[in-house]
C-alpha cells in the first residue's frame, strides 16, 4: 500500500541544552515520510526553493521516498529557527521565514492519485480540504493541525475535519479545539465533527486514542523513557509517520492494528529525538525499530 503526505519540507535552526545546529533538514512532510518509509511506500507533495540541493533530496531518496511530487519555486525554502530550554516539550520560536511556502498551492500529480492512504500534515485547512477533494479515492485519511489554525480558521478547519478519518494532535490543541479542559470531553466534541479516531499526543507521556465507534474504550500507549533527548523537533510528525505507515502496511483495519500503530508511532518518535533534525534516520534499521517495539510491548504488556 502507498501513502501520500502533503505538508512542509523545510530547513531548521535549532538550539537545545544538548547543542546547536544552524541549518538542518526539517518540515512536517520530511519527518513524516522518513518515519513512514520503514513500513510502506511513501510519496511527498511539498514545495522547496533554489537552496534545496541534491544532498538534501538524498535524505529522503535514500529511504525510498518518492519525491517526484516535490514542487520547486524560485526563492528560498521555508526556514524555522527555535530554541528549547529545560522543558523540552515546548519550543520557543525565534523566527519563521515562510519563503516559497507562503504561496504553496498543492496540486497532486496524476501518478499519485491512486495512493491508498493520505496524510494531511500541518498546513492551512483550506489547502487540506483542496487536497482531500483531489484525493477522493483514498481509503483512509489522516490529518494534523495546530493552534494557529484552530483559532484563526475555525470554520475552515471544521469543514476539513469532515473529510478526515484519523486526527493526530497534542493535548493543548485538543483542549483548544474541543473548547474544554477535559480531554475526554474534548475528544467527544472533536469526534462529532467527523473523525472516526482521535489520537492525542502527550509528548514524553505517550498518547491516547479515542474512537467514535460505540463500545470502543480509549486506548493509552506509554512513551519509552529516553536517557537523553537531544532534539524533540519533529517527534510528533515522526509519531504520525510511524502510526500511519504501519496502518498502511496492513491488510485490514481493526482495533488491534490501531493499538500496534500507536506503539510504532511512539517508537519512531523516540528515535527522532536522539539526534538533531533527521540525522537518526540516516542509519536506522528495521531491526532496531522492531527491537524497540518489543521494549514497548514489555513495558505495557501488549499482546
Q: Residue 135 is part of which domain span?
A: 2-300
Query: How would you write the chain as a 3-class SS string?
Result: CEEEEECCCEEEEEEECCEEEEEEEECHHHHHHHHHCCCCEEEEEEEECCCCCHHHHHHHHCCCCEEEEEEECCCCCCEEEEEECCCCCCEEEEEEECHHHHHCCCCCCHHHCCCCEEEECCCCHHHHHHHHHHCCCCCEEEECCCHHHHHHCHHHHHHHHCCCCEEEEEHHHHHHHHCCCCHHHHHHHHHCCCCCEEEEECHHHCEEEEECCCCCCCEEECCCCCCCCCCCCCHHHHHHHHHHHHHHCCCCCCHHHHHHHHHHHHHHHHHHCCCCCCHHHHCCCHHHHHHHHHHHHHHHCCC
Q: What is the CATH classification number for the domain harbouring 182?
A: 3.40.1190.20
126 touches 156 (CB < 8 A): yes
**The pLDDT value given to residue 303:** 60
Residues of the chain with pLDDT under 50: none
| Predicted local confidence at residue 198, as pLDDT | 97
- Which residues lie below 8 Å from residue 21, measured CB to CB, with a gap of 6+? 12, 13, 14, 276, 277
The per-residue pLDDT for 253 is 86
* Global pTM value: 0.95
Residue 204 grid coordinates: 514524553
The pLDDT assigned to 182 comes to 94
**Total number of domains constituting the chain:** 1
> According to the model, what pLDDT value does residue 176 have?
95
Residues 157-182 have pLDDT tens digits of 999 999 999 999 999 999 999 999 99
pLDDT value of residue 302: 60
Cell numbers at residue 83, please?
530554541
Amino acid at each position: 500500500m502507498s501513502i501520500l503526505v502533503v505538508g512542509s519540507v523545510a530547513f531548521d535552526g535549532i538550539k537545545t541544552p544538548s547543542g546547536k545546529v544552524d541549518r538542518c533538514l526539517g518540515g512536517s512532510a520530511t519527518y513524516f515520510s522518513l518515519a513512514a518509509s520503514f513500513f510502506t511506500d511513501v510519496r511527498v507533495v511539498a514545495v522547496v526553493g533554489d537552496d534545496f540541493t541534491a544532498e538534501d533530496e538524498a535524505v529522503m531518496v535514500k529511504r525510498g521516498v518518492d519525491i517526484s511530487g516535490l514542487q520547486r519555486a524560485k526563492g528560498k525554502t521555508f526556514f524555522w529557527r527555535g530554541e528549547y530550554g529545560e522543558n523540552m516539550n515546548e519550543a520557543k520560536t525565534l523566527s519563521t521565514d515562510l519563503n516559497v511556502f507562503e504561496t504553496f498551492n498543492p496540486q497532486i500529480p496524476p501518478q499519485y492519485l491512486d495512493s491508498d492512504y493520505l496524510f494531511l500534515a500541518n498546513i492551512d485547512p483550506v489547502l487540506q480540504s483542496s487536497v482531500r477533494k483531489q484525493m477522493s479515492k483514498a481509503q483512509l485519511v489522516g490529518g494534523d493541525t495546530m493552534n494557529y489554525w484552530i483559532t484563526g480558521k475555525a470554520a475552515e478547519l471544521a469543514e476539513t475535519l469532515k473529510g478526515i478519518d484519523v486526527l493526530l494532535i497534542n493535548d493543548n490543541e485538543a483542549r483548544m479545539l474541543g473548547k474544554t479542559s477535559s480531554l475526554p470531553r474534548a475528544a467527544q466534541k472533536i469526534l462529532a465533527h467527523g473523525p472516526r479516531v482521535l489520537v492525542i499526543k502527550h509528548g514524553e507521556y505517550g498518547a491516547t486514542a479515542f474512537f467514535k465507534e460505540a463500545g470502543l474504550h480509549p486506548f493509552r500507549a506509554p512513551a519509552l523513557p529516553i536517557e537523553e533527548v537531544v532534539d524533540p523537533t519533529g517527534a510528533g510528525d515522526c509519531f504520525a509517520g510511524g502510526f500511519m505507515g504501519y496502518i498502511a502496511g496492513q491488510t485490514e483495519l481493526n482495533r488491534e492494528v490501531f493499538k500496534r500503530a500507536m506503539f510504532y508511532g511512539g517508537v519512531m518518535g523516540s528515535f527522532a529525538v536522539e539526534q538533531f533534525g533527521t540525522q537518526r534516520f540516516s542509519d536506522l534499521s528495521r531491526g532496531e525499530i522492531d527491537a524497540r517495539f518489543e521494549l514497548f510491548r514489555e513495558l505495557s504488556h501488549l499482546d
